[in-house]
Structure 1
């Protein structure tokens, strides 16, 4: 009546309010006297009359009642509230987060409160999950072997954001670098290295590819450190400035180890054997957490970061694997396990590994073979490494065109036959003056900070030495601009498969096995538990004493036992003690270790372990091993 509405206008207004998406209600004399359709749905009511039987105060948590009653009195005296966050206890659910707006009105001539409600429960959950993922991501960064950064691509590489690990590596807090508050990051880089770094970054930006660089910095304490950096240019929408994002890692110890290794092979091999464990154990946590976060998060930024962490970690592990394999070769500790195998299958499996990387560079990867079986007496792992390194080398030095892997049989006089694998590329080729050094260790045609191609410089060295160890030959022919051809050959053996040789498919686990994880590193425990959460029930122990006590009181289906428990007693000793306990004397025990030198697996299996897995491992590898163990022993 006050605004002089016609009956038609009033009905239209009522219909609009009734169909609003947010709940709307009117409270008069302490009771609901009106509720729109959304309000009825919010309270899970089917009839409007049911609303009138609900006491509005019954929806308010008890501890909030005094404040709500005071606010109601204020509104009835002409006040109002807007978007006030509070919590309601509904009949079907407690702790519903809402935003409430309320105004004073008159209903049928009586003072009343007009309320609109916005249910923000889901948005609060999403925000909480986002905060949780952010905390997990920051935890991952701060426990990684390097630090994340984001900076402007200016003369000073002005920092925008850095993770806390920066302090451990440089001695400076991130806040001292950000916006050049006290100094620029450029100022701690060796002056001799700066120009080459700029050239490397600018070339990567021009080609729109990631960059990888190694250089020296001077820390706050004055110490010199070598760091390895991997980054990429980021083009912000609507912003003309280019920012750089990446990861910087302290590789001083690795560089020092490499320098000393060249001076003394024996010292190098002893040092790398210890580094093997020290790298693999933390990398298992880093890569495991990154894989878990990737599976839990839908945030594109976090997925991008975790993908970068996994990629960088895998590259680091590939470099470490190459160095360790080389140390085994030069120290004559490499164990060769000969078996008659089909090298056609070996080649085919290795080609599959490189299909994605070849596709990313628009390289055509061809496999040519006119037979399904060529048998040789070789080590399966070592021949796989040889073929892997040759294909990797071909793709790395080919910017466009084709990489062809051709497997064939060559007949020699006296009916002697050779299995020949040729890896041809249309890459940059190698000048004849460099042919004499191509198989030397730690050598690349481009070397130093400004080198054009990444890698340790050990791939071809390892391929050559492994070929010779197994009585084969590796040759090559190459010319600049015409590409390269690497040819490896081995004697063929006469062999035919028996009809009984079949591949057994593991059965699906019907009941979750009871698994005990014995590991002194809590981070690795959390990774393994997350990896196995869907297929196994996991208990864990951080030391041998508790592990033995748990085995006394419970029968386990599988035990995952770390070899280095940081105690005087080793994992091997614990395994022998467990086998003395009647409840678990026949329980399969899997050796989990960061020591993955040649012969370790055979030694541990001979000691009495049922299976073996080396760190770092991914979820798929661990689950396959658990399934295999269940099939064979449970």
Structure 2
């Protein structure tokens, strides 16, 4: 028997009444032929609700949802068009449970309106009793209509809602279990909600805490006695507000068999002022309460009590406790605790504690002490409520306290949700901190609010598992960001509901670390270096593929083999002494000969880096093997290489280097992004990043030199000759050579420098050349100091010279620096590690500036090595290029310098979250890098060209514009600057230039062109913030 057959067999399926069976999603499972007469489009697998119009769908889904939540039959009347005639059809939804699921039968019948006389006999309200407590004709009219129409149809319910909304006083109807059926807007507003929000919700979810217990007692009394209750202002939910002096009337509505089917409540203003405050306490009311309760005044005298209280303290009901002081019943500690509570006017909350009646039957109880006030907020006394407790309850409370400790004080993030509707029932502080919510906000959500839409269906499908470790799931935090979590889920009963308790483990960092390890693994496997891993004793544990390719051993042959077996016999002791048995915790290097399988030896440099364990001790080693290239003596090959280099078209070379620089800058930027995402890097990771940073600086320096060199090789070279003093550029020269000085541990000091030495030259090109000259000296010398001098050589020339001892230049430095400026450049590159472009740039600049190298001698002894320049700028006649000379006026130079100095002085703290940026950039990767680095900005818009930027400039407001010089479209960055500055409202807009490489004087040139500032790529966060702090007004 299939599932459909089982459903039909277990249900009261009527073939003569139009009927349908649907699943919990509304899909039709089965239907009888009669239904086609009313709903012609109905057929299996169709969605039932999609067969109707919007208004009808809303009404039907409301009946369906009520049936699904209460698991009871729910019905209402909906108007349908059948053969172009509208009929009132009663839809009846009934839940039907199968073995593993729940279905719903829907019956349809023509709605027959019955006469009022018949309806008036369905429910009974003691009208004569109600008329005694209220003379309000409007309220009486509403109550009468409720009697005639209850239970309400959809239309009748709307009419009653309209009627009660017209009442100034409170009015509500609720089911015996406390679920609100209808409330008027006046009552809802007093609780801080709208009527729609309260409808079909439990009353206790919205009442003030101090009223819940009392109202539950009142409801219980009414349900068991079917009597009405009048509560004076002490029980009104708004007595502390503008509506003082009101009383609340609650009465039952019963069926013909005397069963209470609903409770009706309303408020009205008290018409009688009691002469004595003691009369406010209705002692007869308290007598009948089914819970132990007493009321005491401010003197401690008992003013009212329930019969249940006499049972609790094991005394006769006939013995009156009125006017007896409660200290005669309770012990000293109980009395002192209660009196202290009543005396403290700052405490408004209830007092809760446990108590044992040691002299009255040893009964155990929970005590709630609640203050009672009159309408003027004067303290009348207190109501003391007692809840009996047996040993089992005490044991359960102990377990509850243990649960509370685990939930609310444990380090794990935990939340509990209702299995039926997925609403959160409880959450601990660890989970609130993890997701970033306040407690009330979190408890107003359901489980689906934490999930991405594509994960919700999978979540629902896994909902039947009672205990499950699942994940990782992507959860949403309050700020919109995502985290990855693993959940340990357990089914529990919580607050009388079937629920799931979830222990949440944030695995975001764990997964990011795995991703980072994958990056490292990929880099390891695809590195251009030969890499081996060994244990602390030098036994090889792993190699990358390049080791096998270059040396000739397979991975199987090398793993578990001692590394020293690969080196020549004479060098084994050196390896153990300097690496594996050295005890050093820092990277070291050795020149070793590695044996190939054939027995041939390869000269290599081996770099050994120790990997430390959690105790800081050496756990293993990473060895990097770099083969040393043999000298190539083939003359023809050398000449061929030089010829190729010389014949490269300079404009092509310049464009090529610019194209290369853009992705290099992006790579360097994202390397910085990865480094910042590490959080707490290990020492090895720090060392690796430092190596990357040093090589990053070297790479950028080489590329900048290459770009500058290729620019100088072009047919038009622009010069800006100006007069300046040498002492004015000393600080810039020292700053340019600072990194080389620090890395080589060689100090730059000053020798003979003429303070009056003034000459004419292209300042930026001169600074570039002398900076290279100093760096060459710092890198070549074996001494710990380089001495820089500058003075007049004769009437027409001056010299910039260096030496590395107090009196003379060392032979080693002289030979090295002389080789650099000689025609032969191969030896300089090989011996000192200089890039080809750095050497060629230096010689090209020396040639363009009409300089020559010179040895400063005394007799035959060389004292210094220097570069000789003319005091008056002249163009070298040997340079076969067309020269465009540009003379900048002193006023122009002064204006640019003032802008730069003003920018430095105007640095200020900036709040990125308040700034909006437009970035004109044609490279998508550069856009992504900037977005990641500057994610704190309020907003970022990108445009690859001026044409696409114009709509953004006209429709949005920006605080600054960042402009790449090379753009798509018809206009470059300089064109775009001039056009934007002419637009209304953009004359004072800060516009900052950016480009992939920084030529000498770039910043000054761009500021002179009209930009507010300049920033070279990669655009890293700290660099951008520094420039913004200078540029924003």
d(CA) in 2 for partners of 1:273, 1:582: 37
Match of 2:651 in 1: 270
1:506 equivalent to 2:903? Answer no
Distance 1:572 1:247, change over 3 A: farther
Q: Quick one: which of 751, 761, 764 aligns to 1:381?
A: 764
Question: Is the 1:176–1:183 contact (alpha carbons within 8 Å) kept by the matching residues of 2?
Answer: no
Within 5 Å, give how 1:197-208 maps onto structure 2: none
What per-residue deviation string (whole Å, max 9, x for no partner) do you get for residues 90-145 of structure 1? xx9x99978899xxxxxxxxxxxxxxx998857x4542453465577789x69xx9
**In 1: Cα distance, 2:766 partner to 2:1021 partner:** 26
Residue of structure 2 in register with 1:562 after alignment: 964
- Per-residue CA shift, 1:426-447, capped at 9, x if unaligned? 6974599999864246704366
2:307 maps to which residue?
Answer: none
Q: Do 2:484 and 2:508's aligned partners in 1 also have CA atoms closer than 8 Å?
A: no
Provide the rounded CA distance (Å) in 2 between the counterparts of 1:620 and 1:86: 34
Q: Of 283, 287, 300, which residue of structure 1 is paired with 2:668?
A: 287
Cα-Cα RMSD: 6.0
- Counterparts of 1:429 and 1:275 in 2: how far apart (Å)? 40
After TM superposition, the structure 1 = structure 2 runs for residues 391-406 of structure 1, keeping only pairs within 5 Å, are: 391-406=774-789
Structure 2 stretches of 5 or more lacking a match? 1-392, 412-423, 429-445, 448-459, 491-500, 535-539, 559-567, 580-585, 592-603, 628-636, 873-889
Alignment partners' CA distance in 2, 1:27 and 1:385: 86
Aligned position for 1:42 = 409
Q: Distance in 2 between matches of 1:395 and 1:268?
A: 33
Taking the TM superposition and a 5 Å limit, the aligned residue runs for 1:468-479 are: 468-476=847-855
Q: Distance in 2 between matches of 1:247 and 1:617?
A: 33
- Quote the residue 2:681 is aligned against: 299
Counterparts of 1:85 and 1:483 in 2: how far apart (Å)? 76
Q: Which residue of 2 aligns with 1:538?
A: 940
Structure 1 window deviating more from structure 2 (576-585 vs 397-406): it is 576-585
Q: With CA pairs under 8 Å and 6+ residues apart, which has the higher RCO, 1 or 2?
A: 1
2:721–2:762 CA contact under 8 A, matched in 1: yes
Check if 1:32 corresponds to 2:399: yes
| SS class of match (1:334) | strand
Whole-angstrom CA distance in 1 between matches of 2:557 and 2:658: 37
Cα distance change, pair 182–514 in 1 and its aligned pair in 2 (3 A): same
- Corresponding position: 1:630 with 2:1013: no
* Whole-angstrom CA distance in 2 between matches of 1:623 and 1:345: 28
Change (3 A) 1:453 1:623: same
Match of 2:733 among 344, 350, 359: 350
Residue 584 of structure 1 and its aligned partner are, at CA, apart by 4.3
- The 8 Å contact of residues 916 and 937 in structure 2, kept in 1 or not, is answered as no
**1:41 and 1:242 mapped to 2: Cα distance?**
46
* Corresponding position of 1:151: 532
Query: Greater CA deviation, 35-44 or 380-389?
Result: 35-44
What's the CA shift for 1:460? Answer: 4.9
Q: 1:381 to 1:524 in 2, by over 3 A?
A: same
Deviates more, 1:595-604 or 1:548-557: 595-604
Q: What is the alpha-carbon distance in structure 2 between the residues aligned to residue 317 and residue 623 of structure 1?
A: 21
Judge which range, 498-507 or 286-295, deviates more: 498-507
Number of residue equivalences: 502
Shift of 1:539: 2.1
CA deviation profile, 1:208-246 (whole Å, cap 9, x unmatched): 66799xxxxxxxxxxxxxxxx999432345779853349
TM-score where L is the length of structure 1: 0.59
Question: Match of 1:235?
Answer: 610
Match of 2:700 in 1: 317
Tell me if the contact between 1:405 and 1:421 (Cα under 8 Å) persists in the aligned partners.
Answer: yes
Asked if 2 retains the 8 angstrom alpha-carbon contact of 1:555 and 1:584, the reply is no
Q: Distance in 1 between matches of 2:826 and 2:588?
A: 21
Deviation for aligned residue 1:489 = 4.4
Contact 1:161/1:178 (8 A) holds in 2: no
Residue range with higher mean Cα deviation, 608-617 or 429-438? 429-438
Task: Tell which deviates more after alignment, 279-288 or 565-574.
Answer: 565-574
Note if 1:462 corresponds to 2:841.
yes
Tell me, yes or no, if the aligned pair for 1:283 and 1:313 is still in contact at 8 Å: no
- Corresponding residue of 2:172: none
Larger radius of gyration: 2
Quote the offset at 1:67 in angstroms: 4.3
Distance 1:375 1:176, change over 3 A: closer
TM-score, normalized by length of structure 2?
0.39
Q: 883, 908, 919: which is aligned to 1:517?
A: 919
> For each residue in 1:127-181, what CA deviation from the matched residue of structure 2 results, as whole angstroms up to 9, or x when unmatched?
2453465577789x69xx976773359xxxx99576xxx9xxx9x9x99999946
* Deviation, structure 1 residue 542: 4.3
The structural deviation recorded for 1:316 is: 2.2
8 A contact 1:369–1:406 mirrored in 2 = yes
Q: Deviations over 1:496-552 (max 9, x none)?
A: 999999743124155654321122322211322344455775322345554222122
The superposition leaves residues 320-347 of structure 1 with CA deviations (integer Å, 9 ceiling, x where unpaired) of 2333333333445332223333422423
Distance across 2 between alignment mates of 1:332 and 1:385: 20
Q: Choose from 846, 862, 867 the match for 1:488.
A: 867
Q: 2: distance between equivalents of 1:432 and 1:177?
A: 40
Write the distance in 2 (CA, Å) between the matches of 1:268 and 1:230.
37
Deviations 1:357-389 (A, max 9, x none): 434444343234666664433333222222221
SS in 1 for 2:750: strand
Q: Distance in 2 between matches of 1:550 and 1:564?
A: 19
